[in-house]
Amino acid sequence: MGNGTIQPKHWRGVRQKMSIPPGAETRRPRPLVIPIKWYPSDQPWIKVNTDGAYTETSRKAGGGGVVRDASGKLLIAFATPLQAKSALEAELMAMFHGLELAKEFGKPVWIESDSEQVVKLAMGKKWGPAHVHQAVAQLVVARRHHNSRVTFISQEGNKAADLFAKEGLEREAF
């Protein structure tokens, strides 16, 4: 075994507890395909999809979103630059802007985000990292003053908001 080669004599006295059939194949996991689709809200709710974007290299942040009624009709869309120091803060600020715009329609607001962490922070159960405390507080207070709910949606179902968030990176004003 000096040269690193294992030979049959090295296996003397070793017995296998199980036999492996010849030609056995390992099964690969099959990809699970689930169609992702955006669904309109129930009456009388209006739905707001928001997203935030942040680029580390330029330290620019943007937010965007869409507000739709229960039939799926677009009520308003927005893209805005943000003064954020992280992607998390940009997501929170975009959600706040979306809520403020949707409140103008005078109906309960259902907010969807593709960030599970933002959804948890918006529920007011945790404060998150120190640099986002102000954004979390602002969002929680705004939610308390209006009938709203917050849920998670996958990135595939939030593409419109993602498009506007990226547009917000390039904008100079709301």
Residue 136 vs residues 63, 90, 91, 128, 133: alpha-carbon distances, Å: 15, 11, 10, 8, 5
pLDDT of residue 72: 92
31: confidence class by pLDDT, cuts 50, 70, 90: confident
Give the model confidence (pLDDT) of 86-111 as tens digits. Answer: 999 999 999 999 999 999 999 999 99
**pLDDT bracket for residue 11 (50, 70, 90):** low
For the stretch 148-159, pLDDT in tens is 999 999 998 899
> pTM of the full predicted structure?
0.77
> How high is the pLDDT of residue 15?
67
What distance, in Å, lies between the first and last C-alpha atoms of the chain? 73
Q: For 111-131, b where at least 16 C-beta lie within 10 A, e where not — what string?
A: bbbbbebbbebbeeeeebeee
DSSP state of 31: P
Cα separation of 122 and 113, whole Å?
A: 10
Over the stretch 35-81, which tens digit does the pLDDT of each residue have?
Answer: 777 888 888 999 999 999 999 999 999 999 999 999 999 999 999 99
pLDDT given for residue 37 in this prediction? 79
Model confidence over 124-150: pLDDT tens digits?
Answer: 878 888 889 999 999 999 999 999 999
pLDDT reading at 1 higher than 60: no
CATH class of 46-170: alpha beta
DSSP output for 58-114: TTEEEEEEEEE-TT--EEEEEEEEE--SSHHHHHHHHHHHHHHHHHTTTS-EEEEES
> What's the number of CA atoms in the CB half-sphere (13 Å) around residue 171?
19
Check residue 51 and give its pLDDT: 97
The dihedral through the CA atoms of 96, 97, 103, 109 has a sign that is: negative
Residue 23 banded pLDDT, cuts 50, 70, 90 = low
Instruction: Report DSSP letters for 101-151, one per residue.
Output: HHHTTTS-EEEEES-HHHHHHHTTS---SGGGHHHHHHHHHHHHTS-EEEE
What is the domain partition of the chain in residue ranges?
A: 46-170
Give me the torsion for CA of 19, 21, 24, 26, rounded to 10°.
-20
